[in-house]
Structure 1
Amino acid sequence: MFRKLLVPMDFSAAALEACRIATELAQSGGATLWLLKIIEPSQETLNLEPMMALGAQQMFHDLDEQLLDANHTRLDALAQTLRDQGIPVETTVARGHPQDLVCRLAEDQGVDLIVMGSRGLGAFKQLFLGSVSNYVLQHASCPVLITRAPGSEPLN
């Protein structure tokens, strides 16, 4: 039924549950999992003072590279665990805004299903912060399965 499943991964309990469910779907249907880790731009790095000392710029660049390397390592470790179970896995680490990148990668790669966790922000926080899962649900070019962390309470 599904050939390619996209799993956005922030390593939260909800994302790990989404990965568990996607793994079961992949095992039962022979699908490939595509794990996506997105590094969001931070205000600190987006608003660097134009006159900032070169040393500080180099420090931010070095920290950014360390963050990128750490995320590759963590995602690759998860991918290897899944491969050891016989599941074909692709990985991508990208920089940008999660809602846009999830939808774009799903469309560009011909993804059949996005399986993602919801952090369960609640209505008030979603009003101000938005919801990546809600955005993806509304804008993705394929079906979306949204999961919650085990033991999380339903939103009222």
Structure 2
Amino acid sequence: MAAGAAGAKERRIVVAVDEGDESMHALSWCLKNVVADGAPGDTLVLLHAKPTRTVYPSMDGTGYLFSAEMMTTMDRCSSEVADAVVARAKQACQGLRNVKVETKVEAGNPRDVICETVEKVGADTLVMGSHGYGPIKRAFMGSVSSHCAKHVKCPVLIVKK
């Protein structure tokens, strides 16, 4: 039964987006291959995980004092990046027919934010890009896509550029 046929389940597809080209490539791939037909009732959730600000003590090891103004500037910059990422992703979705597009910006570690949001929205599919790190870099930095693939309860599409 086709996704748009009577009685078919409406899909909720979460696409994790960040400032990297890999996530925008994954979104583009998803638009062409997953939601291309625009099944009525499908919802595309564009999710950006905004990293939380590192908590700095009032003075770091070098004796440099972080002012409240500096902290406010760092928060504003992080919000501007999130807004730009979401705007770029929404721009890519223009022209979709019959598909609702929602955006979510959540603060926290990307691997946790993605897994929690997928659960919270009841996603049918998670689409995300892969940075393509080698085994050594992945061992030190971790792989968000690998973590999500192991922990979410829906199918995960990892799109390599």
The yes-or-no answer on 1:121 pairing with 2:157 is no
Matched residue count: 146
CA contact under 8 A between 1:39 and 1:93: conserved in structure 2?
A: yes
CA contact under 8 A between 1:22 and 1:33: conserved in structure 2?
A: no
Q: Match for 1:28 among 23, 31, 37?
A: 37
**How many angstroms apart in 2 are the aligned matches of 1:19 and 1:13?**
10
Runs of 4+ in 1 over 3 A off after TM superposition: 50-55
Unaligned runs of 5+ in 1: 150-156
Matches within 5 A, 1:5-154: 5-24=13-32, 25-28=34-37, 30=39, 31-42=42-53, 45-46=54-55, 48-50=56-58, 56-86=67-97, 87-149=99-161
**Percent of matched pairs sharing the same residue:** 30
**How many angstroms apart in 2 are the aligned matches of 1:55 and 1:132?**
30
Q: TM-score, normalized by length of structure 2? A: 0.79
Q: TM-score, normalized by length of structure 1? A: 0.81
Unaligned runs of 5+ in 2: 4-9
Root-mean-square deviation (CA, aligned residues, Å) is 2.3
Structure 1, residues 35-54: CA drift from partner, whole Å, max 9, x if none? 11112235xx32x1246899
Q: 1 or 2, which has the higher helix percentage?
A: 1
